Amino acid sequence: MDMQHCLDMLDMLSEGRLPEEGAISSFIDACAPEAFSGPVPEEAPDMEAGYLAEAGLAPSQASYVPGEPLPEEDAAAIRAALFERARKKALEHFGNRIYVRGLIEISNICRQNCRYCGIRAANAGAQRYRLSPAEILACCAHGYELGFRTFVLQGGEDIWFTDERLAGIVGSIKASWPDCAVTLSVGERPLESYRLLRRAGADRFLLRHETADPVHYAKLHPARQTWKNRMACLEALKACGYQTGAGFMVGSPWQTTDCLEKDVRFLCRLQPEMVGIGPFIPHADTPFAHFPAGSVERTLVMVAMIRLLLPFSLLPATTALGTAAGDGRERGILAGANVLMPNLSPREARARYRLYDNKLSEGAECADNVAELRERIRATGYEIVVDRGDFCRGGETPCQEEGAPCADAAQTEFPASEGDVFHG
């Protein structure tokens, strides 16, 4: 894609319109050609074949041909223009306000075995912990004193947290701090579980879709964890009335630029209220230990594109982005992000919740240092606000595909793919 076509793409994205198939991939390859921070390990093809065989999928011939990159000077100019437009779009709808959520990592015990994750069940080296209900409430009390009005309870899929226990914790938080929002990020659960937790008072639920490509999903997860079930869980969350968060890693193993285009198109169909995007960072005790991290620049491009296409979405400058680049948090905001999630967990828990190597847990990442974070954000021209920061559509025009409007979020039906049909 040449410079003029990239500029035309910027105009289209700024208007909330999706171009024809393949154009998004070409745009990403033109302005952010680096997908990974280093070489892919020699054993990657054998690993890929093994994972596909486990999932009962035959290796397919690569159909995606990477687009031609622009000269670096031109690519940098396009990225700068993209970030400027995304920043302008965020300012238009949110002003210079940055919302903060108090993150409480309730457990690093998990029944799942996602191949990229440091707290996967098969990682015998993980130092496991679980916060008690009293400890979780103490984190909330401390966070409330610091000014937080949203608490995010995040953890592995720990079966100790039954529906009844988790609902009790949510109910206690809402009773003690009724002006606060509660966000859950506890993985895949049955529809009835999501309903019970919603009735208990949970306002939001974060569940990254990870990838909109079912074959790519099979490479990232063991066969018993299916893309179809992940999509069904997202459908259930929307049906229950949660403000729903999806998202993906940039630069995960075997991700092509075509995968990223599928992610963009999926998110425009789903219309989530929140989207979490961060670079893949390997963990030493996972099957992906020797894979390179995802590109920071490509991650920022994806954040900016989603801001333009989903202008009212709540987009965090993720911890992974801050881990991958010292100024990643600030660069994320300058690319259209408007949420930060400082950590309220006890120090010992923060040190053990290692989803990937070198995960930030101290300094400005720690909620106790919110004053430091406030000053860093202020230096970029933005202000941290004490606010629940609820999603508000506010007259948004949904993103359009070739001029045809998408359904509103409340009416969205999930796309059938690979022969799957989803039912509410």
Q: Which domains does the chain have, with CATH numbers?
A: 81-390 (3.20.20.70)
Instruction: Specify the DSSP element, H or E, that contains 265.
Output: helix 257-270
Question: Where is pLDDT greater, at 194 or 359?
Answer: 194
Please tell me the predicted confidence (pLDDT) of residue 399: 46
In the chain, what percentage of residues exceed pLDDT 70? Answer: 91
Name 304's Cβ contacts closer than 8 Å, sequence gap at least 6.
82, 83, 85, 86, 335, 336
Q: Which pLDDT band holds residue 416 (cuts at 50, 70, 90)?
A: very low
Show the tokens assigned to 258: 């075509």
pLDDT at 415 over 70: no
Q: Is the pLDDT of residue 414 over 90?
A: no
In sequence order, the β-bridge partners of residue 104 are: 153
User: Quick one: pLDDT at residue 361?
Assistant: 58
Residue 351: predicted pLDDT? 87
Confidence of residue 393 (pLDDT cuts 50, 70, 90): confident
What tokens appear for 12 in the block? 């289209």
Mean pLDDT, rounded, for 207-214: 97
**Extended beta strands in 3-58, E state:** 17-18
Confidence of residue 356 (pLDDT cuts 50, 70, 90): confident
Is the confidence at residue 109, as pLDDT, over 90?
yes
With 0-12 / 13-18 / 19 or more C-beta atoms within 10 angstroms meaning exposed / middle / buried, residue 163 is: middle
Q: What is the mean pLDDT of the chain?
A: 90
Phi then psi for residue 185, to 5 deg, are: -145, 80
Q: Are 179 and 212 in contact (CB under 8 A)?
A: no
pLDDT higher than threshold 50 for residue 138? yes
By CB atoms closer than 10 A (0-12, 13-18, 19+), residue 239 is middle
Alpha-carbon gap, residue 216 to 211, rounded angstroms: 7
- With a cut of 60, say whether residue 412 has pLDDT above it: no
pLDDT of 419: 31
pLDDT of residue 59: 76
pLDDT, one tens digit per residue, over 397-406 is 444 444 333 3
Q: Which of 64-73, 162-171, 251-260 has the lowest mean pLDDT?
A: 64-73
Pinpoint the alpha helices (H) of 278-418. 296-309, 319-324, 328-333, 347-352, 370-378
The residues, any chain, with a CB within 8 Å of residue 68's CB and separated by 6 or more, are 1, 29, 30
Q: Tens of pLDDT along 217-230?
A: 999 999 999 999 99
Residue 259 above 90 pLDDT? Answer: yes
Per-residue pLDDT, 394? 61
Closest CA relative to residue 76, chosen from 301, 261, 380: 301
Residue 392's pLDDT band (cuts 50, 70, 90): confident
Please tell me the pTM assigned to this model.
Answer: 0.90
Q: 424: burial class by Cβ within 10 Å (0-12, 13-18, 19+)?
A: exposed
pLDDT at residue 418 above 80? no
pLDDT band for position 364 (cuts 50, 70, 90): low
Backbone dihedral angles phi then psi of residue 220, each to the nearest 5 degrees = -95, -15
Q: Which two tokens stand for residue 297?
A: 């620049």
Distance CA 27, CA 225 (A): 32
Q: Which residues contact 275 (CB under 8 A, 6 or more apart)?
A: 245, 246, 247, 267, 306, 310, 313, 314, 315
* Helix runs in 110-245, H state only: 133-146, 163-176, 191-200, 214-220, 227-240
Q: What Rg do the C-alpha atoms of the chain give, in angstroms? A: 20
* Tokens encoding 50: 């093994």
Which stretch, 176-190, 312-326, 397-411, has highest mean pLDDT?
176-190
CA distance 111 to 267: 27
Q: Are strands 181-185 and 383-385 parallel, antiparallel or unpaired?
A: unpaired
For 29-88, how does the pLDDT look when each residue is reduced to its tens digit (9 = 90+)?
A: 999 999 999 999 999 999 999 999 999 998 776 677 888 999 999 999 999 999 999 999
pLDDT in tens, 305-321: 999 999 999 999 998 99
Strand order in 102-107's β-sheet?
Answer: 102-107, 150-155, 181-185, 204-206, 243-250, 274-279
**CA dist., res. 144 & res. 307, Å (int):** 29
What pLDDT was estimated at residue 387? Answer: 84
For 206-246, the DSSP string reads E---B-S-HHHHHHHS-TTS-HHHHHHHHHHHHHHT-EEEE
